[in-house]
């Protein structure tokens, strides 16, 4: 390990950055060093700009990937190397706003029925029933299921924050049946490696297999079930603030975007045009064409 990599790692640990964030940042800085075949410490604003142009025009990376690169380089040069030109010379790309594709309740039920493995089905049912991120589901422990208070404890979710979410009666029955059949000892969903939970990649693979079996044309990932959870709650009249707490969103704006996809709530709103006084008809209206 080079002294620069060691120092950057220590800087991230001091600030308690998430483990996956640390790995991602180190990977991006390593890619920069390989591109120039030089230590990043010897590079200046022009080289960084050329690298960002390369990532944008030649590698054609998505805006999200470009933001990760920029964030990693900003941390290296601003925090570890303490260069004063960072904010002006390493811009953060603007990410386009995209609405998630939402599964209907019927589609969720059909999808879950298409999962062959009982273990994978239980994992994805839990993701939908409690609105969890897939990493939160895979890292559940048996002691996180509180049947007395009907809650699930999420330990160190995104942003390294604990929270509690709902535990539905049906989910509790499914989890009890799963426990009786498999008898896990520590992790609720253990993986193939002893003492380790199931990987998110294994759940992703099971999700894609079930999507093909279900015949649903919409894109489906484990996170799609979290989107469906929030949207279906909103459509059933649940307060946005409560949904924010259940989802573990830091900002209410993150939760409010589901207002844009909750069709039964938004589209059912009465247009003010329909509330205008209607003039008395002077003659019978013509019959509209059949295609209208």
CATH of the domain at 66: 1.10.150.130
Q: Does the residue 281 lie in any domain?
A: no
Whether residues 256 and 199 share a domain: the answer is yes
Neighbours of 60 (CB within 10 A): 8
Q: What does pTM read for this prediction? A: 0.71
How far is 107 from 67, CA to CA, in rounded Å?
Answer: 33
Local confidence band at 292 (pLDDT 50, 70, 90 cut-offs): very low
In which domain, by residue range, is 206 found? Answer: 105-266
> 35 vs 43, 47, 80, CA distance in Å?
11, 10, 20
* Domain tally, the chain: 2
For residues 213 and 221, give the distance between their C-alpha atoms in angstroms, rounded to a whole number: 14
C-alpha dihedral (26, 72, 160, 248), degrees to nearest 10: -140
| Average pLDDT rounded to a whole number, residues 254-278 | 65
Tell whether 67 is covered by a domain.
Answer: yes
Residue-wise pLDDT tens digits, 81-106: 999 999 889 998 887 777 788 899 99
Residues designated as active site: 133, 158, 223, 226, 249, 258
Q: Would you say how long the chain is, in residues? A: 292
Write out the two tokens for 277: 């006084």
**Does the residue 132 lie in any domain?**
yes
Position 282 in a domain: no
Using one digit for the tens of pLDDT, what is the confidence trace for 119-144?
999 999 999 999 999 999 999 999 99
């Amino acid at each position: 390990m080079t002294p620069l990599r060691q120092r950057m790692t220590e800087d991230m640990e001091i600030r308690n950055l998430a483990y996956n964030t640390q790995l991602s940042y180190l990977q991006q800085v390593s890619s920069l060093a390989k591109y120039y075949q030089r230590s990043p410490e010897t590079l200046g604003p022009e080289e960084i700009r050329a690298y960002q142009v390369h990532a944008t025009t030649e590698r054609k990376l998505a805006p999200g990937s470009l933001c990760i690169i920029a964030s990693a380089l900003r941390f290296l040069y601003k925090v570890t190397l303490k260069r004063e030109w960072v904010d002006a010379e390493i811009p953060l790309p603007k990410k386009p706003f995209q609405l998630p594709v939402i599964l209907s309740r019927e589609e969720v039920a059909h999808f879950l029925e298409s999962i062959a493995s009982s273990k994978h089905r239980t994992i994805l049912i839990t993701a939908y029933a409690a609105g969890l991120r897939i990493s939160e589901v895979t890292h559940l422990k048996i002691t996180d299921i509180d049947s007395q208070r009907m809650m699930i404890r999420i330990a160190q979710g995104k942003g390294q924050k604990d929270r509690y979410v709902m535990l539905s009666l049906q989910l509790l029955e499914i989890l009890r049946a799963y426990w009786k059949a498999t008898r896990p000892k520590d992790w609720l969903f253990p993986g193939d490696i002893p003492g380790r939970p199931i990987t998110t990649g294994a759940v992703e693979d099971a999700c894609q297999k079930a999507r093909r079996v279900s015949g649903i044309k919409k894109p489906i990932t484990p996170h799609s079930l979290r989107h469906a959870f929030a949207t279906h709650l909103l459509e059933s009249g649940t307060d946005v603030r409560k949904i924010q707490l259940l989802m573990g969103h830091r900002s209410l704006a993150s939760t409010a975007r589901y207002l844009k996809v909750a069709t039964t709530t938004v589209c059912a709103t009465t247009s003010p045009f329909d509330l205008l006084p209607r003039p008395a008809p002077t003659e019978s209206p013509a019959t509209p064409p059949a295609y209208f």
